[in-house]
Structure 1
Amino acid sequence: MGQVQPAQEQKRNIFIEKLKVIGPGAIIAASFVGPGTITTATEAGASFGYALLWALVFSVITTIVLQMMVARLGIVARKGLGAAVRDQFSHPAIKYSIVAFVILSIFTGSAAYMSGDLNGTSLGLSTLTGWDINVIGPFVGLVVLLIGLSGSYKLIEKMMIALVIVMSTVFVTTMVIAQPDLGGIASGIFAPSFPVGSIITIAALIGTTVVPYNLFIHSSSVQERWHHPSHLKDSKWDIVVSIGMGGLISASILITSGTLMRGVEVETVADLALQLEPLLGGWAETFLAIGIFSAGFSSMTAAALGASITISSILKWENGLKNWRFKAVFTLVIVIGILSFAFNVEPLAVILFAQALNGILLPGIAVLILIIMNNKQLLGKYTNSLKVNIIGGIVVMVCIGIGAYSLLTAISDLLG
C-alpha cells in the first residue's frame, strides 16, 4: 500500500500541473463561443438534428492546426503574427498595402462583432430575465472596457478560463439532461452529410469557429506565458484541451437543440430555454441566461482584444496591453459597440461588410501563415514538417472555400 499511495499522489500532481498550463488557448475558446456561435449551433440542431456535427468537429480541428502554428511562431520567434506578416515582405508597396488591409479588416470585423455580441447578449438576457435591455448593454460594455484598461494579461486569462468553465458546465449539463441519441451523434460525426439547404449553415458553423483575429491574439498571448521552445509541448496541450473544450461547448448546444428542438424555427437563443423547461423547470431560464452572458462577455472581450493586439503587433507597438495606444484601440472598439447599441443602430450592414472583408482576409492570412511557418531564417529547425504542411495546405484550401463563400454571400446580401 505504501508504494501505491505515492504513485497515485504523483499522478494527481502531474494532472494538476497540466491544468496549470491552461491559459492562452482558453482565451481562444472563450472567444469563438459567443452569441453568434450559440445561435448558429442552435439553428443547426433545430434544422438538421445531429447531421452537421461533422462540420463542427472539422472546424475545431482546423482551428487547432492554425492556432498551433501561430503559437509556435510566438514562442520560438518571439514575434506576433502581425509583425511577422509585416516583416515577410520587403517591397514597401506590398508591405503597407497588406498592413492597411489587415488593420482595416480586423478593426472593422472586431467593431461589428462587438456590436452584434452586445446586441445578442443583451437581447438574450433581457428575454430570459426581464431586465431592462437598455441597462444590460451599456453595463456589460463598460465592464469589458474596465477589464481591458487594467492592462493585466493575467486578469483577462483567468477571466476567460473561468468563463469557459461556466459555459462548459451550463451547456454540457443541459446536453446530458436532454438524453440525446448516442448513435445519432456518432453518425453525425463520422458519416458526413450535406442535407438539402445546409450549405449556409455549414459555412456559418466553420466561420464562427475559425476566427482571423484569434490567430493574432494567440501569437501574442503565448509570449506572455512561455519564453522558450521547450514550452511548445505545454502550448500544444493547452491548445488541444482548451479549443477541444470550446468545440465540446458548441457541440453540446447543437446536440441539445437537435434533441429538443428538431423542426422548431429558431428566432433567438432564448428559444432554447422553452425547450429546457420540462427538464429544468423554473431553472431553465436562469441556467441558460448564465451561459449566454458568459458567451457574450467572453466574445466581446476577445473582439476588442483582437483589434488591439493585431494593430499593436503589426505596427510594432511596445509594452503590449499596457501601451496607451493599445488601450485607445480597445476603448474605441468598445465605444463603437456601446454607441451602436444605445442609438439602436442596425449592425447588419456593418457585419455584412466585415463578412466580405473576412472572406478575403481568412484565406489570405491562412496562406501567409503557411509561408511564414516555412521561413527558416525566422524559425530555424522549428519550421513546419512535411506532414504539417500537407495538413496546413488542406486547411488553407478549406479557408479559401469558406472565404469565397462568405464573400459572395455578403456581396449578394448587400446588393439585395
Structure 2
Amino acid sequence: MSTDHPPKTRPPATPGTGHGRISTETVRTIVEARHTRRTFWKQLALIGPAFVAGAWQFGPGNLTTAMNAGALYGYALIWVIIISTILMIFLTDMSVRLGIRTPVSLISSIKERLGGWVGVVAGVGVFLITLCFSVGNAVGSGVGLSMLIPGTSPVMWTVICTVAVGAILLLKGIYGVVEKILIVIVALMAFCFIASAFAANPDWAAAGAGLIPVVPEGAWLLIIGLVGTNFSINAAFYTSYGTKARKRTEADYRDITMVDTVPGIVAPGIMTALVIIVAAAVLNATGTDAPGAFGGLTKIFEPIAGPVGAWIFALGFFGAAFSSMIPNCVAGGTMLSDALGRGPSADTATARLGSAFILAFGITITIVFSGSSPVQLIIIAQALTVLFAPVLAALIVIMANDKKLMGPLRNRWWQNLLGVVGLLSVLLLSGRLVVSLISG
C-alpha cells in the first residue's frame, strides 16, 4: 500500500528568510522609512546635532579669519569657504550615520574595530583641538565686551566670561535659557551681515571671481585658519555623539539630511562668505591691516545701522564667542572621558575636569599673550587646529566604510571620493602649516 505524500515545497523567497535577495535589515529599514512619513513640523523637530556643529564653527575664530580675509585680500578667498563647506557636509553626514549605527559611541567603536590605542588617540586629538579653539573663544569674548563697553580691559572680561561658563556648566538648568538668549544675539548679527552684504554695495562681479581658486602671496596662514574654522573636523566628529544622544534611527536618516545636516552646515558657510564680502567692500578699500582690523570692524554695520553698528557688532561678536565656549569645552571633556574609558558623557568626573582644563587653558593663553595682537592670536590658534585634523578625518572615513558596523548606511563610492578629497586637503594644509612654523 503506497501513500502519496504531497511534494515538499520550499516557501517562496521572501525578504529576510535568508534565501531571498534582500536582507532582513535592509527591508526593515525600508519599511520603517515608509511608516515614518513626517509632517513639516515633525521634520523640524529633527534639527539639532548638525546645527550645533555649525554654531560651533561660527565663532570668533571664524569671524576674525573671514574678516581679515576680506580686509587683506578682498574677494579672493571666497573659494576657500565654498570648498570647505562642501567637504564639511560630507564629513558631517558620515558622522551622523556613524551616530545612528554605533552601539555606544564613535570612540568605543573605534576601539573595538581598530584598537584601543586608536580610540585614545582620537579622543585626545579632539581634546587638543578644543584647546586651540578655547583660545579664540576666550580672546573673542573679552574683545567683544571691551568693544561693547569702551575703556574696559579685554582680559578682565575674558576672566569674567570664563567664570560664567564654568558656573553654567555646573548649573545645567540655566544653560537652556542662556543658549536661547545667545542664539537671538547671533541671529541678530547674522541678519545684519546679510543686510550689510547688500547695503555695503560690494563688487558682485569681483565676488564671483573669488570662486576661482587663487592663493595670494602671504595668504597661506589665513587660508589654513579659514579651513580650520570652516572645515571643522572635530565638530563633525562630535556630531555622532549628538546624533546618538537624540536616539536617531535609520528611518530618520533621510529627513535628518534634509532638515539638519545640509542646512546646519551650509548656513555658517554662507554667513562666512558674507563676512568676507562685507569686509572686502568696507575694509579692503580703506587698507585696514590685520592688527588694526578690530578698530575697522565698527564700520561693517554702518551702512544699515549708523553709529549703532559698532554696538551691534560687539554684541554679536561676544555672543558668538561666549556661545562657542560652552559646546567647545563640553565636547572636549566628553571626548577625553570616552577616550580614557570613563564613559561618553559630559557628566563624568573626567569630562568635567577636562572641560575645566579647557577653560583654564584659554584664559591662561589670553593672559600670557595679552600684549599681542588679538587678531593674530586668534588666527594662529585656529590654524593650529588643522594639525590633528587629518587623523580624525581618516578615522571618520574608515569607520564609515566598515561593512559590518554600517550595514546599509555604509559609504557609497562618491561619498568616499569627497571624503578622501577632504582628508588630502587637511593633510596638505597641516604639512604646509608645519613648514611655515619651522621656517618662522
Smaller-chain TM-score bracket = 0.7 to 0.9
Q: Please show how residues 3-402 of structure 1 align to structure 2 within 5 Å.
A: 14-90=39-115, 95-96=116-117, 98-130=118-150, 131-151=152-172, 155=176, 162=184, 165-189=187-211, 191-237=212-258, 238-262=260-284, 263-267=287-291, 268-277=293-302, 279-318=304-343, 320-341=345-366, 358-402=385-429
State the Cα distance separating 1:391 from its structure 2 match. Answer: 1.7
Contact 2:401–2:410 at 8 Å: present in 1 too?
yes
Using the TM superposition, give the Cα deviation of residue 386 of structure 1 relative to its aligned residue in structure 2, in angstroms. 1.4
CA contact (8 A) 1:359 1:402 kept: yes
| Structure 2 residue matching 1:269: 3-state secondary structure | helix
Question: 1:215 & 1:153 partners in 2: Cα distance?
Answer: 26
- 3-state SS of the aligned residue for 2:271? helix
1:286 Cα offset (Å): 0.9
Query: Per-residue deviation at 1:152?
Result: 6.8
Task: Determine helix, strand or coil for the equivalent of 2:114.
Answer: coil
Structure 2 residue identity aligned to 1:372? M
1:216, 1:18 → 2: CA distance?
A: 23
What number of residue pairs does the alignment pair up?
394
> Does the 8 Å contact 1:31/1:302 carry over to 2?
yes
Q: Which consecutive residues of structure 2, in runs of 5 or more, have no partner in the other structure?
A: 1-37
Question: TM-score, normalised to structure 1's length?
Answer: 0.84
Tell me if structure 2 keeps the 8 A contact 1:373–1:379. yes
Q: CA RMSD in A?
A: 3.0
Matched residues in 1 for 2:192 and 2:356: separation? 30
Aligned partners of 1:79 and 1:219 also within 8 Å: no
Name the aligned partner's letter for residue 402 of structure 2.
Answer: N
* Distance in 2 separating the partners of 1:316 and 1:219: 17
Per-residue deviation at 1:371?
1.2
Amino acid at match of 2:139: N
Task: Report if the CA contact (8 A) 1:114-1:337 is conserved.
Answer: yes
1-structure distance, mates of 2:331, 2:325: 10
Q: Would the alpha carbon gap of residues 384 and 152 (structure 1) be closer, same or farther in structure 2, given more than 3 Å must change?
A: farther
Q: Give the aligned residue type for 2:146.
A: S
Aligned partner letter, 2:358? V
Aligned-pair distance for 1:288? Answer: 0.3
Q: Residue type matched to 2:403 in 1? A: K
Higher mean alpha-carbon deviation, 170-179 vs 370-379, is at: 170-179
CA distance in 2, matches of 1:316, 1:160: 33
- For 2:42 and 2:121, locate their aligned partners in 1 and report how far apart those are by CA, in whole Å: 41
Name the amino acid aligned to 1:180: P
Bigger Rg, which one: 2
**8 Å Cα contact 1:37/1:209 also seen in 2:** yes
Counterparts of 1:328 and 1:186, CA distance in 2: 47
- Do the aligned partners of residues 80 and 15 (structure 1) sit closer, same or farther apart at CA in structure 2, a change above 3 Å counting? same
Q: CA deviation at 1:388?
A: 1.0
Using the TM superposition, give the Cα deviation of residue 62 of structure 1 relative to its aligned residue in structure 2, in angstroms.
1.1
Amino acid aligned to 2:273: A
SS in 2 for 1:321: coil
Deviation by residue 1:195-228 (Cα, 9 ceiling, x = unmatched): 3333333222112212232133211011122331
Q: Sort the Cα spacing of 1:203 and 1:272 in 2 relative to 1 into closer, same or farther, 3 A.
A: same
Query: Does the aligned pair in 1 maintain the 2:182–2:319 contact within 8 Å?
Result: no
**Partner residue, 1:10:** none
Cα distance in 1 between the residues matched to 2:203 and 2:413: 39
Report the counterpart of residue 9 of structure 1 in structure 2. none
